[in-house]
Structures are given as structure tokens and as C-alpha cells.
Amino acid sequence: MKFFDMYKQELQNHSYSADRIWNVDETGITTVQVTGKVLAKKGQKQVGHVTSGERGENLTVVCAVNTAGSYAPPMLIFKRKRFNECRSH
């Protein structure tokens, strides 16, 4: 609870307006749709279902909202394609 004690102290020391206090969260999602349950008649011998042949990629979604109710547009972070590292010689 040390974080919340420090946070409460910070809020008491400064007069932050509601539009200055933000909550940011991230989650990962996949680019391949997850298949759901398959329903079939009881006793049926063959039950087919659809699966994806591709592995897909994960991407990160970041969302932010402030205590006044405003929000920033969600940010999508995709896997990088190419990274050229800048090196100073």
C-alpha cells in the first residue's frame, strides 16, 4: 500500500484538476480470431470445426482515460518490420 500512500500525499500536496489525472492500461490481442464452441447433435460421429492455419501476430493496445471522463485515442503497437540501429562511429 506504499504506492497509494505516496499517491494520496502527492494529491494533497498539489491541486491537480480532474483533467490532469490519467489512468493508462495496455492489453495484448491476436490478429487471428479465436474459434468458439462447436455444437452438434448428441451421438454424431463427425463434428467439424474451423481452425485457422495461420499463427497470427500479437499486437498491443494502449488506452488512457482521465478522471474528468476524457480519453485519448487508443494506440495500437504492431510488431516491428525492420529496425536499423543508429550507431555513432
Higher per-residue pLDDT: 37 or 1: 1
Model confidence over 35-82: pLDDT tens digits? 677 777 787 777 666 665 567 788 899 999 999 999 999 999 988 777
For position 46, what pLDDT does the model report? 72
Q: How far is CA 69 from CA 14, 15, 20, 79, in A?
A: 20, 18, 11, 31
- Half-sphere CA count of 14, side-chain side, radius 13 A: 10
pLDDT of residue 73: 96
d(CA 5, CA 25): 21
Work out the widest C-alpha separation in the chain, in whole angstroms: 72
Distance CA 85, CA 73 (A): 29
pLDDT of residue 53: 59
Q: What is the pLDDT of residue 68?
A: 96
Q: Report the alpha-carbon distance of residue 35 to residue 51 in Å, rounded.
A: 7
Sequence ranges of the domains in the chain: 17-34+49-79
